[in-house]
């Protein structure tokens, strides 16, 4: 089933490794309830576009998102928790407050119908690159890339511009 703006985000269980190197699990209901969330979906840790463009854009903009009322930024990957923990620490995402969570069985990719495979590369049942703005478990905005290897529509800058534009438009509407 395809999901779109206005829909409640599907219940999926994510995994991550905490600071004590213990595996934690929680569902979207628990993680997203009563919060403004940015959820960034990426095919996998250490891949070129994810590591050199997509995640760095959110690391650089994490403070701006917090200032605009975003409670948490999650980055979900189709990787195991060990790879995700090392990637989060080595990129600076963890230090920036971005939580790297995993969906190793591609349940989210399948549920959202954002699943893809690139034969011959080891990218099996991966998550198509997307970014979602989720408010209290409802999808407010949903951006995804149609092509692999780019993050134009899903970059932090694109999302920041849209959030600011909507805020300004709302303000002007109130002033009328």
Q: Which residues are catalytically annotated? A: 50
Rounded-to-integer distance, Cα 111 and Cα 172, Å = 38
3-state secondary structure of 71: coil
Residue 100 CB coordination number (10 Å) = 27
Instruction: Identify whether the C-beta of residue 127 lies closer than 8 Å to the C-beta of residue 76.
Output: yes
Rounded-to-integer distance, Cα 16 and Cα 88, Å = 11
| 15 secondary structure, DSSP code | E
Q: Which candidate, 25, 33, 49, 24, places its Cα nearest to that of 121? A: 49
Instruction: Identify whether the C-beta of residue 13 lies closer than 8 Å to the C-beta of residue 26.
Output: yes
């Amino acid at each position: 089933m395809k999901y779109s703006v206005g829909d409640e985000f599907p219940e999926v269980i994510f995994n991550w490794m905490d600071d004590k190197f213990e595996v934690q699990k929680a569902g979207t209901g628990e993680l997203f309830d009563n919060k403004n969330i940015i959820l960034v979906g990426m095919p996998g840790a250490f891949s070129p576009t994810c590591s050199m463009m997509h995640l760095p854009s959110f690391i650089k903009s994490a403070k701006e998102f917090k200032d605009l009322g975003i409670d948490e930024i999650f980055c979900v990957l189709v990787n195991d928790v060990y790879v995700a923990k090392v990637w989060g620490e080595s990129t600076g995402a963890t230090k920036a407050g971005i939580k790297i969570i995993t969906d190793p069985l591609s349940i989210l990719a399948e549920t959202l119908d954002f699943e893809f495979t690139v034969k011959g590369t080891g990218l099996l049942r991966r998550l198509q690159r997307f970014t979602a703005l989720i408010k209290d478990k409802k999808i407010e905005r949903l951006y995804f890339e149609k092509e692999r290897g780019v993050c134009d529509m899903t970059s932090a800058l694109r999302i920041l511009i849209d959030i600011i534009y909507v805020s300004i438009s709302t303000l002007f509407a109130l002033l009328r």
